[in-house]
Structure 1
Amino acid sequence: MKASDLFVKALEAEGVEYVFGIPGEENLDLLESLRHSSIKLVLTRHEQGAGFMAATYGRLTGKVGVCLSTLGPGATNLVTPAAYAQLGAMPMLMITGQKPIKTSKQGRFQVINVVDMMRPITKYTTQVVSGDRIPSVVREAFRVAQEERPGAVHIELPEDIAAEHTSMPLIPASTVRRPLAEYKAINKAVEMIEQARSPVLVIGAGANRKLTSKMLTEFVAKTGIPFVTTQMGKGVLDETHELFMGNTALSDGDFVHRVLKAADLIINVGHDVVEKPPFFMNADSAKVIHVNFASASVDPVYFPQLEVVGDIANSIWQMKEAIHSQAHWDFQFFSKAHSAYLQHRKESEDDSRFPILPERFVKDIRRAMPKDGIVTLDNGVYKIWFARNYPAAFPNTLLLDNALATMGAGLPSAMAAKMVYPHKPVLTVCGDGGFMMNSQELETAVRLNLHIVVVILRDDAYGMIKWKQANMDFPNFGLDYGNPDFVKYAQSYGANGWRIESAEELLPKVQACLNEPGVHVIDVPVDYSLNDETLNSTIRERSRELQ
């Protein structure tokens, strides 16, 4: 058969449902093969949108999301999604085209070394040099993308190779079992936990797996040990649980950091160095147990005293089976700090000032969304407020990026989430800056007949940087811009456009949009100027009460 047909059959054998992307002339054989396959091509308006959709598909399903581009500028547009998937541990395959490699009559027109370009930001990158190599190359790409730690892989399929003929058979997927932690490490972990005075769990990105979530839920139920989440660990355990102590949204100084400083043992589950450290170790700090698929990378602020290396879910299960709750465990301070945090939240959540305050906005979105509804975030100062104030009840119901932290991913992520879970409500929150970086994908969402709600927080500036500029005593310079009329902009794509003109209007408008099919864009003016007043100063005041 034609090599492009074999390539597509290899994708089908791996269970691929969608290919997101923009084909070029170098992909035309592959495009024709896709036309005759069970795989749906999702044509996007920018390669970045395709990459973010593929990465989010991988994040939500654990299967490899696939995206497609042509050579040259199409391939370079996948660099940001590649880094997004790689740092965020999302399994994703990028397929790029290339000019013929056996003979060429166009010199180096549009030709760059895409394989070498992708090497630093992928787990695996290669060029297919023969149709006979397709089965092994595709199988290896999927294997590497999905194994722990998941990430991005890349295959370049040149035009002349795609048109070749080959008789090579497909290579079936092998069964893989992760290694288990040694029983001596498990026993030592249980001993350290039982001997501790005030142990606490910290749940990181690597723990965001269905079975790990189940095992951690059982572990907390049996032991009563409180838990903290990182930004990409949100929802692994139900954050409405009474033992949830908070999220490490801020770098330091929040109530949750008081809990961590009061603990004498931290059980650090699924720690991923791409996230900002949830705590800093020093000679006098709490002891740390590192529970992860891989051993710890030791640095000046992270040097765990015990490493439990192996399948995380199994390690937690083994620890849960062996451990016994201890009468000497003392969580009184943890409870006091958490009560102070809840009281602090209440002080701003019902504020009716307009433009709307971030705390009020987050509370209303949480009230509008069902527990299993999915919220995706772009990147901006509001991400801190969602991480800190939005309790996620289930894994992957608040999708934020605390790895690459790129702008422009919020809308494509919501689109992919709706395709994976068509019966769940999906809402994305974007700053006006991040939204405009991939706003053209509104057309894709309308064309796909998706029902999503897009909330744009408009402050007519790059608000996160402007806030930091002010905090560092720099004058206001270079960060303000103008915006289109977002209502008319949405309508020009065939979407529905709305504008909020008071804080009280937000909740009923979001609820109405969640109940009405179609793509809805809601323009919400926001005021970040009170970030310090409503956050840092109040935290400092309440923290004194915990001394």
Structure 2
Amino acid sequence: MSNAENDHELDWHKAADPGELDEGQVSACPIGLKTVALTKLNGRYGAIDNRCPHQGGPLGQGTLENEKIRCPWHGFDFDPFTGEAAGGPDFDVATYPVQARDDGIYVGTPAPAPAKRTVSDVLIETMTNWGVDAVFGMVGHSNLGMAEAMHRAENAGKLRYFGIRHEGAAAFAAAAYGKLTGRPAACFGIAGPGSTNLLTGLYDAKADRAPVLALSGNVDSAVAGKGAFQDIDLLAAFADVAVYSEMVRAGSEHAELMTLALKHAILERGVAHLVVPDEVQIVEDPDQQSSGPEGRMPDLRVAPPAAALQQALDRIAAATRPVIIVGAGAKFDMAAIVAFAERLQAPVLTTFKAKGQLSDEHPLACGTLGRSGTPVASWMMNKADLLVVFGASFSNHTGISPYKPIVQVDTDPLALGRFNPVTVPVFGDVGVTASALTRRLRSHPALVDQRPEVADRWAVWRTEKVRRAAKHPDGRIAAATVFAELSHLVPADAVLTVDVGNHAYSFGRYFETKGQQSVLMSGYLGSIGFGFPAAMGAWAAVPDRPVIAVTGDGGFGQYLADFTTAVKYDMNITHILLNNGELGKITQEQRSSEYEVWQTSLHNPDFAAYARDCGAYGIQVSSPAELSAAIAAALSHPGPALVEILTDAQSN
């Protein structure tokens, strides 16, 4: 007997092949959007709703006892033909008509009702109105309502969803997207561990001031705080990492909460976080309008105060050898800074995080300053009589000399003189301030054109790099060799994502940027494992640009399962993997501390074979003579590719 009104109004679905069910067997069978518990008993077929009304147990995974289906979770019994429950009519389940046809067993269900607009739809519509077009995450039991809204947005062409293998990779990918574009992407997890797994990548976004939206499903409000399965206080867990973290409730102004979250993420350049309980996600909300950024965002291009600008101009006019230092905070203002530098003929040094913001081909470029830097940059800083610093935060790894006169320009007043007093702190938009300095610039009569000296220092350093690249043990390749080849082969418009470890120091020192290349890294958090997930985020942001991940074996080992994610979505990522068989940076630190080397060796797979097993291009290289051709082949491969380079652990 069927609950359906008229058989001719039903949608018929094949649930099983002929003979697939044995006598006395019950099986869970998907039919359209539903799942039924299909039973064969005494030669008859019956189909009832798969969901036990007690706590949702899957009846199709139960057993037939005394001609009743027994729920596998709590033992409730149901008639396989009528749906009647032994516990009384309040627990009866729906039944569906069954037809045994020549080609299989068919079950009829009413046509699905039109989808109703929910709280999740309001949230996701508002999110896409703000320009969030990419979500990295994992769908699970406590975020299914939001996942369905994302599904609808993806079908409407407003969103791209990337299902990852570990939520940490999702957060790193979203952080990299924000670093590259200045716009937020979203990462997405379930209650409990699904959301706590996001935290490391979100701390990376916090440390490097990248806008990210984090979305957490949560347990039902009715059981929250009672020690339920996967019940943790997510607002408390995210309190330190997020600039905004709020719970979405049934009676909330849902669009406004999403708007506030994204406004905080963008304006404060940080992590915004929303927690949406399971039952709230599916609350019908047909009338509430989504919102967007119109009329909500100020113009942030603030001019500096006149007095501070004049003090900066006076200091610049008194300098004969000024040097410009650029940090990641100047990423989107480089044209104005370069124009300023060219008027002064002043060398431009970058922090490691800002590597690539000025091409090393520019006659004023000196490469990176600090521990990962070039001797060109340190030489020019040491000879300077004034440092003009744009968008840098004076990290101890950068090594900006505090003993020099400093003009510091930043949009963040807390960054000005953060660690030591500076001569002239200038609060203002970096690009606006650089343009104002250029317009009103007065230079010293004895101002030195430092371009010839920059060229000389590069010549000395490039000669040394060639010498280092020529030295390598049998079966291993020197880091200088790897990055010399990459400097030649990587396209001028590429995005490079760099992990943490010895290879990163070598990259900063040896790799020469060109054209419009962009470099992304886990700057202040310095989290190993960043490199490959970041490449996925970069690819989602700029799929038409070449994306190259540069990692060590230690870093890639943390998220190597997500190589399958790149294959699944056909991400055109070239992965340059430097395999030295150990945590080389830690080995060096143990030796420099005069400890014995301990527990830094790695037992690695054949990474190139692993890439091929995943369905990608993979090749292993151990000879310098093979390196160029291997990298070129990987770069030309239309999809994920991995070049595993066996490198010398002692060369960096």
**Structure 1 counterpart of 2:37:** none
Q: 1:290 Cα shift?
A: 0.8
Over 3 Å counting, the alpha-carbon distance change for 1:351 and 1:204 in structure 2 is same
Over 3 Å counting, the alpha-carbon distance change for 1:268 and 1:104 in structure 2 is closer
1:295 counterpart = 2:413: yes
Over 3 Å counting, the alpha-carbon distance change for 1:156 and 1:296 in structure 2 is closer
3-state secondary structure, aligned to 1:236? coil
Q: 1:320 Cα shift?
A: 0.7
Unaligned runs of 5+ in 2: 1-116
Q: 1:420 Cα shift?
A: 2.4
**Structure 1 counterpart of 2:503:** 382
Distance 1:54 1:134 in 2: 23
Higher relative contact order (CA 8 A, sep 6+): 1
Could you tell me whether the CA contact under 8 Å between 2:304 and 2:429 is conserved in 1?
A: yes
Over 3 Å counting, the alpha-carbon distance change for 1:132 and 1:299 in structure 2 is closer
**Structure 2 counterpart of 1:544:** none
Distance 2:256 2:145 in 1: 20
Q: Give the counterpart of 1:432 among 553, 562, 565.
A: 553
1:17 counterpart = 2:133: yes
Distance 1:133 1:22 in 2: 26
3-state secondary structure, aligned to 2:274? strand
Q: Give the counterpart of 1:342 among 451, 462, 467.
A: 462
Could you tell me whether the CA contact under 8 Å between 1:48 and 1:78 is conserved in 2?
A: yes
Q: 1:300 Cα shift?
A: 9.2
Over 3 Å counting, the alpha-carbon distance change for 1:71 and 1:273 in structure 2 is farther
Higher strand share: 2
**Structure 2 counterpart of 1:264:** 385
Over 3 Å counting, the alpha-carbon distance change for 1:339 and 1:497 in structure 2 is closer
Question: What aligned pairs does 1:536-547 form with structure 2 within 5 A after superposition?
Answer: none
Letter in 2 for 1:119: A
**Structure 1 counterpart of 2:261:** 141
Unaligned runs of 5+ in 1: 532-547
**Structure 1 counterpart of 2:633:** 512
3-state secondary structure, aligned to 2:324? strand
Q: 1:5 Cα shift?
A: 1.2
Normalised by the length of structure 2, the TM-score is: 0.77
Distance 2:414 2:227 in 1: 48
Q: Please list the CA deviations of residues 28-47 of structure 1 after superposition, one character each: whole Å capped at 9, or x if unmatched.
A: 11111112113222111110
**Structure 1 counterpart of 2:250:** 130
**Structure 2 counterpart of 1:417:** 538
**Structure 2 counterpart of 1:113:** 233
1:199 counterpart = 2:345: no
Q: 1:453 Cα shift?
A: 1.4
Q: Give the counterpart of 1:451 among 567, 572, 584.
A: 572
Q: 1:110 Cα shift?
A: 1.2
User: Across the two proteins, how many residue pairs are aligned to each other?
Assistant: 525
1:369 counterpart = 2:490: yes
Q: Give the counterpart of 2:173 among 53, 57, 74.
A: 53
Could you tell me whether the CA contact under 8 Å between 1:72 and 1:110 is conserved in 2?
A: yes
Over 3 Å counting, the alpha-carbon distance change for 1:68 and 1:301 in structure 2 is closer
Distance 1:163 1:300 in 2: 46
Distance 2:162 2:424 in 1: 47
Distance 1:141 1:105 in 2: 24
Could you tell me whether the CA contact under 8 Å between 1:234 and 1:395 is conserved in 2?
A: no
Question: What aligned pairs does 1:218-297 form with structure 2 within 5 A after superposition?
Answer: 218-250=339-371, 254-273=375-394, 276-281=397-402, 285-297=403-415
Q: 1:371 Cα shift?
A: 1.3
Letter in 1 for 2:271: A
Could you tell me whether the CA contact under 8 Å between 1:256 and 1:338 is conserved in 2?
A: no
3-state secondary structure, aligned to 1:232? coil
Between the aligned residues of both structures, percent identity stands at 25
Over 3 Å counting, the alpha-carbon distance change for 1:325 and 1:345 in structure 2 is farther
Q: 1:443 Cα shift?
A: 0.9
The CA RMSD measured in Å over matched residues stands at 2.2
**Structure 2 counterpart of 1:442:** 563
Q: Please list the CA deviations of residues 426-465 of structure 1 after superposition, one character each: whole Å capped at 9, or x if unmatched.
A: 2211111111100011111111012221122111111110
**Structure 1 counterpart of 2:433:** 315
3-state secondary structure, aligned to 1:180? coil
**Structure 2 counterpart of 1:73:** 193
Over 3 Å counting, the alpha-carbon distance change for 1:20 and 1:133 in structure 2 is same
Letter in 2 for 1:200: V
Q: Please list the CA deviations of residues 397-427 of structure 1 after superposition, one character each: whole Å capped at 9, or x if unmatched.
A: 2222221111112111112222322232222
Over 3 Å counting, the alpha-carbon distance change for 1:3 and 1:298 in structure 2 is closer
Q: Give the counterpart of 1:169 among 273, 276, 289.
A: 289
Q: 1:345 Cα shift?
A: 2.5
Distance 1:280 1:474 in 2: 31
Q: Give the counterpart of 2:607 among 486, 496, 499.
A: 486
Normalised by the length of structure 1, the TM-score is: 0.91
1:466 counterpart = 2:587: yes
Letter in 1 for 2:284: H
Distance 2:291 2:351 in 1: 39
Q: Please list the CA deviations of residues 4-41 of structure 1 after superposition, one character each: whole Å capped at 9, or x if unmatched.
A: 11111111211221211002111111111112113222
Distance 2:373 2:353 in 1: 17
Q: 1:333 Cα shift?
A: 6.3
Over 3 Å counting, the alpha-carbon distance change for 1:301 and 1:417 in structure 2 is closer
Over 3 Å counting, the alpha-carbon distance change for 1:275 and 1:177 in structure 2 is farther
1:183 counterpart = 2:303: no
Over 3 Å counting, the alpha-carbon distance change for 1:376 and 1:110 in structure 2 is same
**Structure 2 counterpart of 1:5:** 121
3-state secondary structure, aligned to 2:353? helix
Q: Please list the CA deviations of residues 218-255 of structure 1 after superposition, one character each: whole Å capped at 9, or x if unmatched.
A: 11222211111101111222222121223124179945
Could you tell me whether the CA contact under 8 Å between 1:353 and 1:503 is conserved in 2?
A: no
**Greater mean alpha carbon deviation, residues 65-74 or residues 231-240:** 231-240
**Greater mean alpha carbon deviation, residues 435-444 or residues 295-304:** 295-304
3-state secondary structure, aligned to 2:238? helix
3-state secondary structure, aligned to 1:94? strand
Distance 2:282 2:242 in 1: 27
